[in-house]
Amino acid sequence: MFTKTAQYYDALYHFKDYKVACDKLVKLIKQYNPKAKSLLDVACGTGKHLEYLKEELTVAGLDLDTNLLEVAQKRCPEVPFYHGDMTNFKLDTTFDAVVCLFSSIAYVRTIENLNNTLKQMAEHVNPGGLLLVEPWIFPENYWVDRITANFVDQPDLKIAWMYKSQLEALTSVFDIHYLVASPEGVENFREKHIMGLWTDEQYRQAFRNIDIEPVYDATGFFGKGMYYGIKRS
């Protein structure tokens, strides 16, 4: 996944307003459970969400990518981080909220893994707690063969990254080309990202499979929507 870009991840997604998203998330959690105190961020990446969420909740993070976890641990040294696969992780604690943000769920690729991941997430939610997932693009909205270019322009870091959106079976494929310039020099490399494409009904069914009736918010925190529901007591 981010084997070559973990150190650049926050620069690549500099346009995301994490604070606004986290404020909305905390408000949503408290709306359903005013006494909520703890949260697990599944596929936490560089810990940028947790940097803000830890001001309101006792938080923890889990990710499969050790490079991203290294960045996250430096950012939030007081936060416990776990190395694990979100399709089959098992921790010795549960939380008032378990979330998977910024479409990270799609990295599990298959519908079987989607169902497994939500099952594992639900097992770590306290009764009455919130389970929330930000989905990836719906298949009918995916832009096949679209060319995309993004740029980072900082004093000591310049990045151009571009790709053509491809479709393979039921996955989106971005074979991303990077050109990175820093005081150390200029380098170029590629990194492939493969993400599952699921329908609205498939997301909803994955929640129902764990006995949670989902609510769908078409806007979500970053414009791609979100599904959430409460675990029954």
| Domain segments of the chain as ranges | 6-138+198-230, 140-196
* Packed helices 200-208 and 111-123: angle between N→C axes, nearest 10 degrees: 40
Structure tokens at 165: 């959106």
Structure tokens at 79: 């936060």
- The pLDDT tens digits for 138-175 are 999 999 999 999 999 999 999 999 999 999 999 999 99
| Mean pLDDT, residues 59-63 | 98
- Predicted pLDDT at 224: 87
- Predicted pLDDT at 25: 98
- The pLDDT tens digits for 168-208 are 999 999 999 999 999 999 999 999 999 999 999 999 999 99
103 strand-pairing partners? none
- Predicted pLDDT at 1: 75
Helices (H) and strands (E) in the chain, counts: 6, 11
Structure tokens at 67: 């490079």
The answer on pLDDT for 14 being more than 90 is yes
Cβ atoms of 59 and 50 within 8 Å: the answer is yes
Distance CA 211, CA 222 (A): 27
Q: Is 15 helix (H, G, I), strand (E, B) or coil?
A: coil
By DSSP bridging, strand 38-42 and strand 95-100 are: parallel
Q: Is 155 helix (H, G, I), strand (E, B) or coil?
A: coil
pLDDT level of residue 133 (50, 70, 90 thresholds): very high
How does DSSP assign 201-225, residue by residue? HHHHHHHHTTT---EEESSTTTSS-
- Predicted pLDDT at 164: 98
From the number of C-beta atoms within 10 Å of its C-beta (0-12, 13-18, 19+), residue 145 rates as: exposed
Residues of the chain with pLDDT > 90: what percent?
97
140-196 and 6-138+198-230 share a CATH fold: no
The superfamily in CATH containing domain 140-196 is CAC2371-like domains (2.20.130.10)
The superfamily in CATH containing domain 6-138+198-230 is Vaccinia Virus protein VP39 (3.40.50.150)
- Predicted pLDDT at 190: 97
**Helix (H) / strand (E) containing 122:** helix 111-123
pTM of the model: 0.96
> What is the DSSP code (8-state) at residue 107?
G
Q: Is 62 helix (H, G, I), strand (E, B) or coil?
A: strand
**Helix (H) / strand (E) containing 157:** strand 157-168
Other beta carbons within 10 angstroms of residue 88's beta carbon come to: 11
* Residue whose tokens read 């010795």: 92
- What is the distance, to the nearest Å, from the Cα of residue 69 to the centroid of all Cα atoms in its chain? 13
